[in-house]
Structure 1
Amino acid sequence: MQQGLEVKSLTTIEDMKVVQKLEAEVWEMEPIPIHQTITAVKNGGIMLGAFYNGELVGFSYGFPGFDRGKSFLCSHMLGIHKNHRDKGIGALLKEAQKEEAIRLGYELIRWTFDPLQSRNGYLNLSKLKGICNDYAVNCYGEMEDGINKGLPSDRFNIEWWIRSQHVNDNLHNYSEPVRPFRWELTEAGFPILTNIDGDMRHIDDSDDVVSIPIPLQFNELKVANPALALQWRKNTRAIFQTLFSKGYTAFSMTKENEIIYMNLIKRDRLKLEKEG
């Protein structure tokens, strides 16, 4: 942990007021009402704050979820002040969330993220070792905040099995990935898929790791070429839905120049059972 940075649980109404201020700055929209957040943290929810020299610069918020007889922590929101991004604060908050969730008796944490946001994807899949084989189309409807405005709010539904061998064991041996999808750079220097219909035919039902390219700098692409950004959304939606239907699960990412590859493997090859 970097000097001057502290992560701690937030439990009071005054804490929630400070979080609201940062939330509004990060997403440029109305924050979650305090009566909701304070009730959640008193009933199995977790609110954590990252403080740099006493100032709140990041937070994570989750509340209890329930699905088919099993409880889990629904990690709803993680925000970092724009002046403190790319410093590892998001990873620190997630690790603190993991430890607190284990203390409270959780085994699974779930949340959503935009699969075209490479920074979030690298944290969620490669660093934290979350997995996903569930694609939600336009999950939140039309969103008007600075990050999401202008595109369908498609999301990955992440599963983080916090007590599993997959998360806690660093010794994973997988085959070299296959890369069936070709791409090139436009004149403006942005990546574009060149033959998605033809390349889709090369996806089989094997146990190989399959790598899917996505733009490394998607936010910049959205501003410069909204039509190309929408094309990436629709093309990758079709790819992920096809692979998920074949039993593949996203589990890591690999950076390479203007592209970052998302790696998928058959779910039954991942060590998701509880350690011990």
Structure 2
Amino acid sequence: MLNELNQSEATNGITIRALHLIEEMEQVRTLESKIWGFEDSIPTHQTITAAKNGGLVLGAYFEGEMIGFQYSFPGFDGQTVYLCSHMLGIDQAFRNKGIGKLLKIAQREEALKLGYKLITWTYDPLETANGYLNIAKLGGVCRTYIENCYGEMDDLLNSGIPSDRFLVEWHISKNEDEKENLRQVELSEALEHSLIEWEENEDGLPIPNIKDSFEVSDLAFVAVPKDFRTIRESNIHIANEWRMKTRESFQNLFRNGWKVTGFYKNSETNLPVHFYILKK
């Protein structure tokens, strides 16, 4: 499947392959440092050791240059062995071109070859581009919310707010008929039943609030901002309001047996939010 993937990618010049050499791991660290900074980058001795012991490192290339990578290592929770997908990075010049999805598809195929049935990873639920990929496109689900998962982080993407994360479960061995299926959802339903509502301030930034009361049927909805990075860069107080209000909403739902199984991407330009969809 990985070879077939490379052939189909030839039309846009992107190739993806599993990495095994120390020189390739050095390319991964160089790209990771370019994206997040060298200080917290993963040492090459760690990535190559993982690759030799049940882990997986993938590289995405354009004209011979690495422009994306994915790094995973084996995980075990006392009952289940799974692949822990730790990091995925793409050069800024190549973002929003579907490379992240190609890396995840390649990861799935290689993980199946290694005998894995489950891949897990964490991501910030307010980063909605990742939410759309992880939940809507890949079919991951989430029932675990981790407060301040990595502590205080000083990088450009996380500075100033708690590093809360969703824990995604991607059951890669399931057939289509075994996967979570959602009925058709309309925007009006998501707006009416969202646990989070909002109003815009004088700068046009949405300010969240938890509804005093709401009706829940077979599905629940939680609104999240379309462009959280702009909010964080413009007004850290409002960014923290979104963090705390959505944290409370998701934790309450998860405690009561709900899980995230869908993502509604709202195309209306005058509405500043997308929606996570949950069911029991």
- Shift of the 155–95 alpha-carbon distance from structure 1 to 2, 3 Å rule, reads same
Cα distance in 2 for residues equivalent to 1:112 and 1:11: 25
Aligned length: 261
The one of 143, 158, 162 equivalent to 1:133 is: 143
Name the counterpart of 1:249: 259
Matched residue SS, 1:57: strand
With over 3 angstroms needed to count, the CA separation of the structure-2 counterparts of 1:226 and 1:215, relative to structure 1, is: same
Judging changes above 3 Å, is the alpha-carbon distance between structure 1 residues 68 and 217 closer, same or farther for their aligned structure 2 residues? same
1:231 aligns with 2:241: yes
1:273 alignment counterpart: none
Give the alignment partner of residue 14 of structure 1, picking from 13, 23, 27: 23
AA at the equivalent of 1:190: L
CA–CA separation in structure 1 for the residues paired with 2:170 and 2:213: 31
The residue aligned with 1:272 is none
| Counterparts of 1:105 and 1:235, CA distance in 2 | 39
* CA distance, structure 1, for counterparts of residue 250 and residue 215 of structure 2: 11
Q: Corresponding residue for 1:62?
A: 72
Distance in 1 separating the partners of 2:181 and 2:235: 41
Q: Classify 1:200/1:47 alpha carbon distance in 2 versus 1 (closer, same or farther; 3 Å).
A: farther
- The structural deviation recorded for 1:174 is 5.8
The equivalent residue for 2:160 is 150
- AA aligned to 2:25 is M
- 1:108-257 matches, within 5 Å, as 108-165=118-175, 172-173=182-183, 178-194=193-209, 196=210, 199=211, 201-202=213-214, 206=217, 208-256=218-266, 257=271
**Aligned amino acid, residue 51 of structure 1:** Y
State the TM-score, normalizing by the size of structure 1.
0.89
CA RMSD of aligned residues (A): 1.8
Contact 2:180–2:261 (CA under 8 A) maintained in structure 1: no
Q: Deviations over 1:24-46 (max 9, x none)?
A: 01112421011111110001100
Moved more, 35-44 or 179-188: 179-188
Query: Alpha-carbon deviation of 1:157?
Result: 0.6
CA distance in 1, matches of 2:197, 2:180: 31
Tell me whether 184-193 or 56-65 shows the greater mean CA deviation: 184-193
**Alignment equivalent of 2:94, drawn from 84, 106, 110:** 84
Structure 1 position 184, deviation (Å): 2.1
Query: Which residue matches 1:26?
Result: 35
Q: Partners in 2 of 1:144 and 1:167 — Cα distance?
A: 43
**Cα gap change, 1:13/1:203 in structure 2, threshold over 3 Å: closer, same or farther?**
farther
Normalised to the residue count of structure 2, the TM-score between the two structures is 0.88
The percent of aligned pairs where both chains have the same amino acid is 46
Structure 1: where are the runs of 5+ without partners?
267-276
1-structure distance, mates of 2:82, 2:170: 10
Contact kept? 1:45, 1:73, Cα under 8 Å: yes
Is this contact kept in 2: 1:65–1:73, CA < 8 A? yes
Once residues 213 and 179 of structure 2 are traced to their aligned partners in structure 1, the CA distance between those partners, rounded to angstroms, is: 35
